[in-house]
Amino acid sequence: MFKSVLIANRGEIALRVARTARRLGMRVIAVHSEADSAAPFVTFADEAYCIGPAPARESYLVADRILEVAKKAGAECIHPGYGFLSENPEFAEAVEAAGIAFVGPPASAMRAMGLKDAAKALVEKASVPVVPGYHGTNQDAAFLKGEADRIGYPVLIKAVAGGGGKGMRKVEAPEAFAEALASCQREAASSFGDARVLIEKYVTAPRHVEVQIFGDKHGNVIHFFERDCSMQRRHQKVIEEAPAPGMNAETRAAFGKAAVEAGKAVGYVGAGTVEFIADGSRGLRPDGFYFMEMNTRLQVEHPVTECITGFDLVELQFRAAFGEKLPVTQADLAINGHAVEARLYAEEPERGFLPSTGTLHALEFPEGAGIRIDSGVVEGGAVTPFYDPMIAKVIAHGATRDEALDRLKAALENTIVAGPKTNTRFLAALIDHADFRAGKLDTGLIERNLQALGAVEQAPDVAMIVAGALALAAEEKARLEAVAEARSSMADDPFSVADGFALAPGRIGHIDVLVEGEKHRVVCDAALEEATGEGLRGGDFTLVAADDALYVIEKGRQLKIARPDPLDVSFDDHHGDAGGLVKSPMHGKLVALFVNEGDEVEKGQRVAIVEAMKMEHPVLAPRAGRIEGIAFEAGAQLGEGARILTVVEHVEA
Ligand code: ADP
């Protein structure tokens, strides 16, 4: 086996790869950006090298620098993880040319599968079914529109270089085609540096079913069964499971055969995933699925396959790269139980799933039978705007699907995160959704049920506010009593008694607090005296004090409660009527501005697009009126809350 590995990645996957490498006796070499110098994957490594500033383009994507470090540190192989350089054939070639083994497929296989259009053409030749559509070279807008008309709506426009659910637009009707095409091309150019697209028939009630394949350097290719990744939001996976609900032996064999054939067609070596889309309206059938694309790397959701097969896929990757034969044949493999993975993200489902960054004041995961946590951050660390805001993958394995789901839900509800907002509660609600439980899956399930899943604006929970307010009051009372005691021991001064905060028994009328920055008044009575005493911290809530505030946490919900600062003059500004101010919802780039100074807009009209984490977020006019004070040009970098423009209300003459 290799004696050392350089891991060209970060976060959760770098740590996960490092653990297996160490178990196999390798010296672990990490590379990291300036933003990650204290990250767990760096401290875990035997050696670590800083390769540049925070933006991935200046660090994790700089192939030359990583290769230089690998040579200097004497790495025998490079594991690219997923994302970043993992599917970059030039990098794989450069690594091999330097006499270092690349833990992944040959560059030729990456190239063959790298672009969705060419991949489709290639597997079609190997008799693998593909989605009807246009995947040719003509990129003329009118021509593409004609193809969409011919294929029949709804259609899907896909960036040929796309990945990670980005660069895709569903178009319901011909009128909407032109705008969707332009927006897709814009995102494709900015995210992948390639604006070309293909057009596909949109499969109804689509289910995403993918097959894990593995090849060795001796010509063997086998599969490790399927995963169902139909629980998606905006084409990004949210929950993944293995095996796929409703899959029978005959259909599984058909999926497996198609996947292995696709792998063999490109001389595949190592771990790869062949993604299919199945028409879920008639259940999974041997003749009801189509090839979508092949990912020539490890997948984020590989742990569910590890759970049900008992294999460490990263170990198999190292063995295949080292030239070993696959340790098993297809006939040796069997499925043990059911496994489900949920992607725990720092984001706010209640605010359109906006990424949420900041320090992780508390981070605790439960332990339990069948629970596995793959995480790359620790308490005290931070979720930064530079990378994917995933906090952890929470994985549960059980004898049955229901057992796995119950375990996953309990694990999520017992996860404590204070600081960035998370999707924990949303995930728990999804696990309990009747259709999901029943295995009635399709990729539109989440989008159709946002309301039921709680992914809508919600008033803060009153019980949580009261718990937080009382805890703050109790803290303040204890502090004042301590001050009073200190003073009275110094001088017997009756005026220094600390009752100014109106916390003396019988005199308390209310407690003013900031709930997520909004002013709230908690009215209380005699019960307060009792409540502010011992035992307040009980109840079902977890309270985490940090940042001059209290985080009240319950079953994945989190509320930040702070005492208003009487000296903060901006307080009224912040919480008065925001009027027609249009602010950037997040730290990001202003990719498009649709209005000019003086334009008249309707309430809810899209005025701009901010891109963050490679996703486009529309910015809407908060009211009807006239555009004034445009503060930025398209292309500008915006801080969270930066004022972009103002919509001035119409004044009747
Ligand atoms: P990416 O490379 O960005 O992951 P994919 O081609 O794998 O893109 O597609 C991602 C998701 O988009 C799929 O899992 C599926 O939900 C949806 N999708 C892709 N193609 C189609 C299609 N033809 N019809 C319906 N949904 C599709």
33 is a domain residue: yes
233 is a domain residue: yes
CATH code for position 418: 3.30.470.20
Active-site residue flag, 297: yes
Question: Beta strands 588-593 and 606-612: pairing type?
Answer: antiparallel
370 is a domain residue: yes
**Roughly how many angstroms between the first and final C-alpha of the chain, as a whole number?**
82
For a substitution probing ligand 1, which of 191, 198, 202, 277 has the most ligand atoms within 8 Å of its CB? 277
List pLDDT tens digits, range 597-613.
999 999 888 899 888 77
Taking the CA of residue 133 as reference, the ligand 1 atom at the shortest distance is 23
Q: Which residue pairs from 607-613 have beta carbons closer than 8 angstroms and sit at least 24 positions apart in sequence?
A: 607/582, 607/644, 607/645, 607/647, 608/582, 608/644, 608/645, 610/584, 610/585, 610/586, 610/638, 611/187, 611/190, 612/355, 612/385, 612/586, 612/587, 612/588, 613/355, 613/385, 613/388, 613/389, 613/588
408 is a domain residue: yes
The one-character DSSP state at 330 is: G
Distance (Å, whole) CA 588 – CA 586: 6
Question: What is the value of pTM for the model shown?
Answer: 0.82
* Domain tally, the chain: 5
CATH code for position 10: 3.40.50.20
Of 27, 252, 297, 343, the active-site residue reads 297
The alpha-carbon radius of gyration of the chain (Å, integer) is: 27
Same domain, 344 and 481: no
| Pair 529, 505: CB distance under 8 Å | yes
Ligand 1 mean position, distance from CA 616 (Å): 18
Same domain, 350 and 468: no
- The more confident residue out of 53 and 637 is 53
Average predicted confidence (pLDDT) for the chain: 90
Same domain, 223 and 157: no
- pLDDT on residue 527: 52
270 is a domain residue: no
125 is a domain residue: no
Same domain, 233 and 302: yes
Distance (Å, whole) CA 175 – CA 594: 19
Q: Which residue pairs from 189-192 have beta carbons closer than 8 angstroms and sit at least 24 positions apart in sequence?
A: 190/591, 190/611, 190/614, 191/159, 191/162, 191/166, 191/167, 191/614, 192/159, 192/161, 192/162, 192/163, 192/166, 192/167
Q: Is the CB of 257 under 6 A from ligand 1?
A: no
Ligand 1 mean position, distance from CA 159 (Å): 11
The one-character DSSP state at 295 is: E
Q: How far is CA 468 from CA 123, 130, 335, 386, 473, in A?
A: 58, 55, 47, 32, 9
CATH code for position 615: 2.40.50.100
Same domain, 233 and 371: yes
Same domain, 23 and 57: yes
113 is a domain residue: no
List pLDDT tens digits, range 93-123.
999 999 999 999 999 999 999 888 889 999 9
- pLDDT on residue 484: 81
What is the pLDDT confidence band of residue 510, given thresholds at 50, 70 and 90? confident
pLDDT surpasses 50 at 575: no
Distance (Å, whole) CA 63 – CA 69: 10
Ligand 1 mean position, distance from CA 235 (Å): 6
Q: Residue range 432-436: average pLDDT?
A: 97
Nearest to 439 by CA among 467, 402, 472, 469: 402
Same domain, 195 and 331: no
List pLDDT tens digits, range 452-462.
999 998 888 88
Distance (Å, whole) CA 513 – CA 143: 59
List pLDDT tens digits, range 11-34.
999 999 999 999 999 999 999 999
Ligand 1 mean position, distance from CA 352 (Å): 21
CATH code for position 186: 3.30.1490.20
List pLDDT tens digits, range 530-571.
554 443 444 579 999 987 899 999 988 999 999 886 654 443
Q: Range of 618's domain?
A: 581-648
| Residue whose token pair is 């809530």 | 541
Same domain, 239 and 362: yes
Distance (Å, whole) CA 38 – CA 142: 52
596 is a domain residue: yes
Same domain, 610 and 597: yes
Domain boundary among 174, 201, 228: 201
Distance (Å, whole) CA 30 – CA 26: 12
- The more confident residue out of 8 and 164 is 8
For a substitution probing ligand 1, which of 201, 208, 274 has the most ligand atoms within 8 Å of its CB? 208
pLDDT surpasses 70 at 61: yes
Same domain, 323 and 437: yes
Same domain, 478 and 586: no
Number of other CB atoms surrounding residue 428 within 10 Å: 22
Distance (Å, whole) CA 358 – CA 188: 28
Same domain, 400 and 482: no
- The more confident residue out of 568 and 319 is 319
- pLDDT on residue 475: 84
